[in-house]
Amino acid sequence: MDKGGRKTAFSYGMISCIMQRERVAVYIDGLNLFHALIKADTAAKYADVFSLVESLVKPAQELRFVKYFSAVQKHHSKNAREYKQYVKSLGDGKTEVITAHFKNKSKKCPSCNARWISQEEKETDVNMALAIFEDAMDNKYDVAIIISGDSDLVPPVKRIRERFESKTIVIATPPRRFASSRDLRRVAHASFEITLGRVRKHKII
């Protein structure tokens, strides 16, 4: 009502429309982010990912959930133990952690024929793709922010856009990987780089 007690055209439906915020889901390629941070600034490699993600969400948006995808190496080096403990600490109720595995692979030097066993990450990109697709099917988000620069995610992102036209896909590349992530960025609705300065504000002390 106005000051004279008369009804105005402003309805509760309009209020509801104005107050409704975009639902945001965030999917993090854990090792892609971690390795980027090691190269950019070792001191910032252990980021408080939930706090970091919260800083990416706009006022007109609502963060619904965060999913962190990674794999932990089987060997017992100091770095592997630290990363395993770090990933474990992320599953604190705020962030859902989905783990894959590493697989041993034999490699050979073409120059000297030397052979060795290395470990390759398996299933992380598949787990991410399935989660983003299934959550779209279940209408759990309006906007999906994918923190990665991995071109293996290009096919699933393209398919999600084709299948769910109402969903918005945003690529947030790790620090200093914006240029190298061109293939992934070009299939999304929007993209931006998470700056090293932003990560430093949310690193675990």
124-168 residue pLDDT tens: 888 999 999 999 999 999 999 999 999 999 999 999 999 999 999
pTM: 0.81
Q: The domain at 22-201 falls in which architecture?
A: 3-Layer(aba) Sandwich (3.40)
Rg for the chain (alpha carbons), in Å? 21
CA angle 31, 195, 166 (to 5 degrees): 75
d(CA 51, CA 94): 10
pLDDT tops 80 at residue 13? no
d(CA 85, CA 10): 53
Domain range annotation of the chain: 22-201
98-122 residue pLDDT tens: 987 445 455 556 777 665 445 455 5
pLDDT at residue 157 in the model = 96
- Residue 15 pLDDT grade (very low, low, confident, very high; cuts 50, 70, 90): very low
What is the spatial order of strands in the sheet that 22-29 belongs to? 115-122, 95-108, 61-71, 22-29, 143-147, 168-173, 190-193
173-183 residue pLDDT tens: 999 999 999 99
60-99 residue pLDDT tens: 999 999 999 988 766 667 777 888 888 888 877 889 999 8
pLDDT tops 60 at residue 30? yes
pLDDT at residue 103 in the model = 54
pLDDT at residue 120 in the model = 56
List the beta bridge partners of residue 66: 26, 95
